Amino acid sequence: MADTQAPATAETGHGRPQALSLVPKAEAKQSMKEFKSDQEVRWCPGCGDYAVLAAVQGFMPQLGLARENIVFVSGIGCSSRFPYYMNTFGMHSIHGRAPAIATGLAASRRDLSVWVVTGDGDALSIGGNHLIHALRRNVNLKILLFNNRIYGLTKGQYSPTSETGKITKSTPMGSLEAPFNPVSLALGAEASFVARTVDSDRKHLTSVLQAAADHPGSALVEIYQNCNIFNDGAFEILKDAEQAEQAVIRLTHGEPIRFGPPAEDGLGAQGVVRDPATGDLRVVDVAEHGTDAVLVHDAHSASPVNAFALSRLADPQTLHRTPIGVLRDVDRPVYDDAMSEQLDAAVDRSGKGDLAALLHGNDTWTVVG
Which positions touch other proteins (CB under 8 A)? 1, 24, 37, 39, 66-71, 73, 83-84, 86-94, 97, 100-109, 111-112, 129-130, 133, 339, 342-343, 345-347, 349-353, 355-356, 358-369
206 exposed, middle or buried (CB, 10 Å; 0-12, 13-18, 19+)?
middle
- Least distance to other proteins, CB of residue 247, Å: 36
**What one-character-per-residue DSSP string does 251-289 give?**
--TTSB-EEEEE-TTSSEEEEEEE-TTT--EEEEEHHHH
Nearest residue (CB) to other proteins, 137 versus 149: 137
Relative to beta strand 219-224, strand 281-285 is unpaired
CB of 255 to other proteins, least distance (A): 37
Nearer Cβ to other proteins (81/166)? 81
Residue 107 or 208 having the CB closest to other proteins: 107
CA-nearest of 255, 252, 291, 254 to 270 is 291
Least distance (Å) between residue 114 CB and other proteins: 9
Smallest gap from Cβ 21 to other proteins, in A, equals 15
Minimum distance between the CB of residue 109 and other proteins, rounded to whole angstroms? 4
Min CB(41)–other proteins separation in Å: 12
CA-CA distance, 150 to 5, in Å (whole number)?
A: 43
Q: Which residue number, 129 or 291, has a Cβ lying nearer to other proteins?
A: 129
Cα 136 to the center of its chain, rounded Å: 13
CA 126 to chain centre: 18
Cα–Cα separations (whole angstroms), residue 258 to 248, 264, 285, 286, 319: 10, 13, 9, 8, 17
- Cβ closer to other proteins: 22 or 281? 22
Which of 75, 271 has the CB closer to other proteins? 75
Q: Which secondary-structure segment (H or E) carries 87?
A: none
